[in-house]
Amino acid sequence: MDRNQVIGFVLIAAVLIVFGVLNKPSEEELAARKHYQDSIARLNSAPVQQTGQDPVMDSTLTIPSVNDSLAAEPDTFALASTANAARDEYVIENNLIRLSVSTLGGKISGVELKNYKTSSGAPLLLIDNDTASFGFNFFAQNRAVSTSKLNFTKAYSSEDSLVMKFEAGENRSITLHYSLKPDSYLVGFDVKFHNLHELVAPNTSYMELDWKYAMLQTEKDLKSERPNATPYYMFSADREVESLSYSSSENKNITTRLKWVAFKQHFFTSALIASDEFEKPTNISVEEPLTDDAVKICAASFTIPFIHQPEVNHSFQFYFGPNHYQTLKKIGLNMEQLVNLGFFGFVSKWLVIPVFNWLNSFNLNFGIIILILTILIRIILLPLTYKSFLATAKMRVLQPEVNELNEKFKDDPMKKQQELMGLYRKAGVNPLGGCIPALLQIPILFAMFSFFPTSIELRQESFLWAKDLSTYDSILDLPFNIPFYGSHVSLFTLLMTVSILLYTSINMQMTAATNPQMKIIMYIMPVMFLGVFNSYSAGLSYYYFLSNLFGLGQQYMFKAFVDEDEIHRKIQENKKKPVKKSSFQERLEKMAKERGYQAPKKK
């Protein structure tokens, strides 16, 4: 190890130590975490009386410091759990969503997005009554109470507003108010606890809001839908957005205040947004379902402050809608990050999405939009593509001399490398000249890889034989499954693979590549893409197919305009000119010579 490596390790250790000190939980956070864990332990260990009533309502959990006068009160919550056996639903709606609210728990029992359908053409439901649970949990009258088990009644309703109320005795109530606005996927949700402090244990400073539901399948391929579903959340302080695992089950206890939590599916999201922020801690989990009729099961448990006053109010908002970049961006809470644009998302954000939306404003077929988008991107990349072709042409002209040096110094790799560097320098050719422009094109290549599969605009949009450009285009469904390929044949993927093979073959000829191993790898890669892209978005395969075709056309156009004889003449002229060496080149050559002299001595 030299001095720089030692300094590097010391700096890394210092950064880790400072990071650990700065992120150490405060005493307040540790106390809140312990209070939360103790409450959960009491809930789980509470004995249940066998009276035939709901076990959550009938728990005999004893809470310290509860007023003795509460024991004499009628058990309002236990009675209310069976007071109204009939469970009705009330509907409010606007032009975008239809919301159903159940009397049981006063919870949202159904969410339908009017402008979207499932892959089978059925109404698209994000939530239904059988797969969702939602309720506030707290301690009252010496027992654990959950509003999800209480029976509410309708206090007021209109087309876009609904008030559900639970009477908890004389002049005591829990009120839930749902409201909608035109042209909005946001649902206002206001909660009011009136005089409930008389029943709630005096030492209770918070309650828990539990939300859990199984995501319903909305797309054609469940296997492709599951890897695109997981909870997201945003921290209040720095507005940073993070997510749980896409590939496996995960349970995370977050000890920092959050602004919102979202259960994201492939193209749609259900989110709960706090008017201020959610207190810490918040527990979020995701798990794989045991059945094939759901995508994933998501759950969140929020900490809600409870103040012992006659009126306790909390305001929230739900978002039930599409993962549409502009729609989410208008909310103003970084929710547009639910649209996963990948590592090179800045390219999609500042280039692809604006151009795509501009083309979409002309009401063109999306197949035509992708065609025009491909042409525009190819025009933007034209200077880089030309520089890459020109650098390749120079290397091709020098190839006979390179082969001669390889043969002459085949037993002395160090000498061969020195002679090759000298040849390139005299000829004025950069051996990496063809690679650098190609590397600069990678951000757009990968940006499109993330853009098309996540673009809801392509959902259920047809083009030619593809019925839905957001998923695979099957021209033949196989009665069996081929490992690494699937049980269907995607024609756009086949065309893309053929175009890549053709593009690779022509490039091999133009570059005069002689490495047989490299040739094998270059031909194996397209075959691997065939298996990977067979279940991907048809729009993505269609774009790569068009891009390869235009790339081939550009190659032939450049070949027609580039005179290799003239390039060879200029290279020979460059060889006659004196070569100016930079200090960096001189140091490299000096090091190479020193290593060359030391090698025989060591041997």
Q: 222 phi and psi, to 5 degrees? A: -65, -35
Would the pLDDT of 10 be above 50?
yes
Which 8-state DSSP code applies to residue 199?
T
CA dist., res. 470 & res. 228, Å (int): 13
Tally of domains in the chain: 2
318: confidence class by pLDDT, cuts 50, 70, 90: very high
Task: Say yes or no: 336 and 374 in one domain.
Answer: no
Task: Say yes or no: 332 and 307 in one domain.
Answer: yes
Domain containing 78 — which CATH number?
2.70.98.90
Q: What is the average pLDDT across 402-419?
A: 76
Asked if residues 249 and 286 have their Cβ atoms less than 8 Å apart, the reply is yes
Q: What is the 3-state secondary structure (H, E, C) of 339-386?
A: CCCCCCHHHHHHHHHHHHHHHHCCCCCHHHHHHHHHHHHHHHCHHHHH
Cβ burial, residue 139 (10 Å; 0-12/13-18/19+)? buried
pLDDT of residue 414: 79
Q: Is 30 within the bounds of a domain? A: no
Within 10 angstroms of residue 358's Cβ, the number of other Cβ atoms is 11
Q: What is the average pLDDT across 45-54?
A: 38
Task: Among 310, 340, 370, identify where a domain stops.
Answer: 340
Q: What is the average pLDDT across 260-278?
A: 93
pLDDT of residue 525: 80
pLDDT of residue 392: 78
CA dist., res. 88 & res. 84, Å (int): 10
Q: Is 407 within the bounds of a domain? A: no
pTM: 0.75
Q: Is 34 within the bounds of a domain? A: no
Question: Which residues contact residue 164 at a Cβ distance below 8 angstroms, ignoring those fewer than 6 apart?
Answer: 90, 101, 103, 106, 152, 153, 154, 155, 175, 176, 177, 178
Task: Say yes or no: 107 and 256 in one domain.
Answer: yes
Would the pLDDT of 54 be above 50?
no
* Residue with more model confidence, 128 or 34: 128
240-255 pLDDT, tens per residue?
999 999 888 999 999 9
Task: Say yes or no: 467 and 521 in one domain.
Answer: yes
Would the pLDDT of 55 be above 50?
no
Would the pLDDT of 466 be above 70?
yes
Task: Say yes or no: 275 and 351 in one domain.
Answer: no
287-300 pLDDT, tens per residue?
988 777 789 999 99
511-526 pLDDT, tens per residue?
555 556 666 777 788 7
Task: Say yes or no: 311 and 359 in one domain.
Answer: no
Task: Say yes or no: 216 and 361 in one domain.
Answer: no
Between the alpha carbon of residue 412 and those of residues 19, 140, 365, 534, 586, the distances in Å are 50, 87, 61, 47, 21
In the three-class reduction of DSSP (H, G, I as helix; E, B as strand; rest coil), residue 508 is classed as helix
483-492 pLDDT, tens per residue?
888 888 899 9
At position 49, the amino acid (one-letter code) is Q
Would the pLDDT of 145 be above 90?
no
Q: What is the average pLDDT across 165-190?
A: 92
Task: Say yes or no: 139 and 80 in one domain.
Answer: yes
Q: Is 284 within the bounds of a domain? A: yes
pLDDT of residue 265: 93
- Among the ranges given (65-74, 207-216, 229-238), the one the predictor scored with the smallest mean pLDDT: 65-74
pLDDT of residue 558: 84
Q: Is 432 within the bounds of a domain? A: no
Q: Is 363 within the bounds of a domain? A: yes
Would the pLDDT of 35 be above 60?
no
Task: Say yes or no: 335 and 368 in one domain.
Answer: no
Task: Say yes or no: 360 and 453 in one domain.
Answer: yes
Task: Say yes or no: 84 and 132 in one domain.
Answer: yes
Q: Is 140 within the bounds of a domain? A: yes
CA dist., res. 176 & res. 318, Å (int): 13
Cβ burial, residue 517 (10 Å; 0-12/13-18/19+)? exposed
Task: Say yes or no: 241 and 120 in one domain.
Answer: yes
CA-angle at 324, arms to 322 and 326, nearest 5°: 135
Placement of tokens 């957001």 in the chain: 470
DSSP track, 249-315: -EEEEE-S-EEEEEEE-SSEEEEEEEEEEEEEEEEEEEE--SSSSEEEEEEEEEEEE--SSSEEEEE
Which range of residues forms the domain containing residue 111?
50-340
Q: Is 577 within the bounds of a domain? A: no
Q: What is the average pLDDT across 298-315?
A: 91
